[in-house]
Structure 1
Amino acid sequence: MRVAELDLLGISDGMHRDVEKILITEEEIRMRLDVLAQKVLIDFADEEIVVVILLKGALVFAADMCRRLPVPMTVECLNVASYHGDIKSSGKVEFLDAKLPEVGGKKVLVLDDILDTGLTMRAVIDRLGELGAREVRGCVLLNKLKVRDVECEADYKAFDIEDEFVIGYGLDYRGRFRNLPYVGVMKSEVIE
């Protein structure tokens, strides 16, 4: 969908001026999450789970996914960073929380916005394993089709996308655009 078509959706407040195109619409996200939740429930339907949300990017995705999972759960947030405001990963994953989630002996579902280099998901899965989690599975909204920096694939993924810089539905550029209701590709001339 081209940006000019956004006006037809009632999005004419300039919020989309830095968007080249809409990659995934709000309706497409909603429908795909219904399907994704059913896949997750096949593996997590029988017992309580710990959902670990990777902040800040996965917040919108996680809220919508958790409402679709009618199972006993506790929800934890884990603040990790690898982009540090840039458009490329720094190559170093930092755990920014002083206290990590208690996952000993439990089944864990990690929710993240995007699987790109694989560094963040790999580091989080490894750390939760070190903390004694019985099982850790990764679930992402977006899976970039690219060679990863480390071996890592998500157990569940809503959408495969090309290697483009995307914003919206929780994904940001320098802290902005998280509240767009769709996933869009950012205009290259706007990226510094």
Structure 2
Amino acid sequence: MEEDIERVLVDEQVIHKRLDVMALEIRKDFPGEVLVVVVLMKGAFVFAADLLRRVPRMLEMECINVASYHGGTESSGVVSFLDHKLPDVKSRKVLVLDDILDTGRTLKAVVDRLYQEGASEVKTGVLLSKDKPHTDNIAADYVGFLIADEFVVGYGLDYQGRYRNLPYVGVLKAEAQ
């Protein structure tokens, strides 16, 4: 598995230091409120677990399955909500956590849907944001790392279901794709 990695982009120690900072920002922005956290599965589960342990406050956590890559190395342009029921967010403040902001289609679709469901405020956090234009100029409120437009795996991110368990973010070799 590690032989498929061209290079480590962000190592585990650096990720954990950045999560400490992101957690402080979230605590500052949501003082004393019960926050609904919506984690986009499966890619964001490692990031979300490590980040949320650093936010010592009352949280309600929900997970939803949303897909846009559909097994490929680029977004298909089609965002599929794989869960038919979304969490109850009516008049609630929501934090959406995703692994990577690439085209922006997935994050935009989820944010729009949560507002349609009655959320009073929706903020977003991503581990990685690609340095490129995003659909509808969407930007995450909390960003772990700005990266080049490369295909990355590890720390929850996968390629065809593999590499999620790597403790770092790495660039996948072209021949492994």
Taking structure 2 as the reference length, the TM-score comes to 0.98
Q: Which residue of 1 aligns with 2:21?
A: 35
Q: Which residue of 2 aligns with 1:170?
A: 156
Of the three residues 67, 70, 79, the one matched with 1:93 is 79
Deviation string 1:3-47 (CA, Å, 9 cap, x unpaired) is xxxxxxxxxxxx301000000000000111001110111111221
Q: Could you tell me how far apart the structure 2 residues matched to 1:169 and 1:46 are? A: 30
Q: Which has the higher contact order (CA 8 A, sep 6+)?
A: 2
SS, match of residue 150 in structure 1: helix
- Percent identity between matched residues is 58
Q: Which residue of 2 aligns with 1:26?
A: 12
Structure 1: gaps (5+ residues) = 1-14
Of the three residues 109, 117, 121, the one matched with 1:135 is 121
Deviation string 1:129-156 (CA, Å, 9 cap, x unpaired) is 0000010000000010001233210000
Deviation string 1:100-124 (CA, Å, 9 cap, x unpaired) is 1110011100000000000000000
Of the three residues 139, 147, 162, the one matched with 1:161 is 147
Q: Could you tell me how far apart the structure 2 residues matched to 1:73 and 1:27 are? A: 25
Say if 1:117 and 1:150, in contact at 8 Å, map to a contact too.
no
Amino acid at match of 2:16: R
Q: Aligned-pair RMSD on alpha carbons?
A: 0.7
Deviation string 1:143-191 (CA, Å, 9 cap, x unpaired) is 1000123321000001000000000000000000000000000011221
Taking structure 1 as the reference length, the TM-score comes to 0.91
Which is greater in Rg?
Answer: 1
Detail structure 1 runs of 4+ shifted over 6 Å in the superposition.
Answer: none
Q: Could you tell me how far apart the structure 2 residues matched to 1:93 and 1:150 are? A: 15
1:98 positional shift: 1.8
